[in-house]
Amino acid sequence: MKHSYCSYLLLLILLACPSTAHTVYKTIKSDGSVVYSDVPSPGSTPVTLGQINGAVIPALVSPGLLANAKSVIKQTPPDYKIVFLSPAPGETIRNNAGEVMVRFEISPDYLGKFELLLDNQVVNTKGRMQFKFENILRGEHHLEVKLRDNSGKILASSGQQTFYLHKASALIHAN
């Protein structure tokens, strides 16, 4: 049993190893056509071949580009900062129509989608850094801006900021 196993293994090794001792013969026929074969024929001459399969396949990516790609992959995303310009933290706005202009800036610059939350409710989603609210009720309100990428991932958040809206009393000039 052991002998047959060894002979099968030896046979597999011999079949797997290509033979490099083949000779190629070139024959030029009477019509001028050339035939190459591994079988000699009358009038054929042996051809000496150089290194077989000596073609060099070019690299798809040069080493320099590969190094640059790896450095790009390892870069961390920028640390975006969102800062309110108006209203200021804790600011009291006096407007009887309930209008509030919200402006903010982001650094470094990013042209993305901003979500504006008023009292923890999304009220606007735009690519601008300025929003105008109308008919806001009097009292304390909380603002927050979130920067999202195209997939919806939050890249930055301003954190909550409080402002107060005052309106003239409805009881003044009630007559």
In a domain, 117, yes or no: yes
Which residues, other chains included, contact 135 with Cβ-Cβ below 8 Å and sequence gap of 6+?
97, 98
pLDDT at residue 97, rounded to an integer:
86
Which are the contacts of 142, defined by CB distance < 8 A and separation ≥ 6?
117, 118, 119, 120, 160, 161, 162
Residue 102 CA to residue 6 CA, distance in Å, equals 84
102 in a domain, yes or no?
Answer: yes
- Please report the pLDDT score of residue 60 as a whole number: 66
Does residue 137 form part of some domain? yes
Residue 152 domain-assigned (yes or no): yes
pLDDT at residue 79, rounded to an integer: 84
Whichever domain contains 102, its CATH number is 2.60.40.10
Q: What is the pLDDT of residue 140?
A: 92
Q: What was the pLDDT predicted at 164?
A: 93
Does 74 fall in a domain? no
**Average pLDDT for consecutive 10-residue bins of the chain (175 residues)?**
57 54 81 85 82 66 62 69 88 88 84 82 77 86 86 84 85 62
Measured CA angle at 77 (ends 84, 153), to 5 deg: 70
pLDDT of residue 66: 63
3-state secondary structure of 24: strand
> In this structure, are residues 137 and 165 in contact, taking their beta carbons and an 8 Å threshold?
yes
Domain count, the chain: 1
Does 52 fall in a domain?
A: no
Residue 129 lies in a domain: yes
Nearest CA among 53, 34, 52 for reference residue 43 = 34
> pTM value?
0.51
Residue range(s) defining the domain that contains residue 103: 81-166
Q: What pLDDT shows up at residue 47?
A: 83
Cα–Cα distances (Å) from 10 to 6, 21, 52, in that order, read 6, 20, 26
- Residue 12 covered by a domain: no
Please report the pLDDT score of residue 30 as a whole number.
Answer: 85
